[in-house]
Amino acid sequence: MSKKMNGLSRTKARSRQNLIDAFEIVFKKKPLEKISIKDITDAAGYNRSTFYLYFSDIYELADAYEDSVLKDVSAIVENIVDGNSELPLSDLIGMMGPAAGAHLDRIYLSSLLPGFAGRFRQTLMPLFMKITGTERSSEKHDYLLSLLSSILLHNIKYLHDTEDGLDLKDVVLISGRLIAPGLSDIISEL
């Protein structure tokens, strides 16, 4: 009986994930406000009732998509920071680019969703605190993290929108060299 329930749970999780994947496919072609439930169910190969088993509307589906992207971002940054917290900040920033490379399109798409920038910043906050070696946030922390997350999102948008511009490695290198010295000085004052 438990094997049957386990299989059913996996099937439900797979169906839910298929709807999230279909959202990404459709969102690449249409702005959020133009996406219909029919667009999603057609892309996923499901009917409307299947959609409503998992989500109440497109916005709840968009939130689920955003959650999955933020979970990936958090895992990437944690993997870099764990065991590397003694590295210079420019090296840590340099490591983020290649690690996040496979997720740039998803992060870019999520950045088009309302409220993503704030949630992105909040996802990075505990990791930023770890890098700075401080235990609680201050106004200065909040400002610095807001600035850094804005720069990261700008870089992702630049990479997405520019076909013949700099590649990921160059953007990360320039950003790290530009940001790290000043940020390191400010962090030492915290």
Range scoring the smallest mean pLDDT among 57-61, 63-67, 141-145: 141-145
* pLDDT averaged over every residue in the chain: 83
* CA–CA distances in Å: residue 13 to residues 7, 68, 126, 160: 10, 13, 28, 30
Indicate whether 109 pLDDT > 50: yes
Domains detected in the chain: 1-55 (1.10.10.60), 58-189 (1.10.357)
Q: Compute the residue count for the chain.
A: 190
Write down the pTM of the prediction.
Answer: 0.81
3-state secondary structure (DSSP) of residue 11? helix
| Structure confidence by residue, pLDDT tens digits, 84-101 | 767 776 677 677 777 777
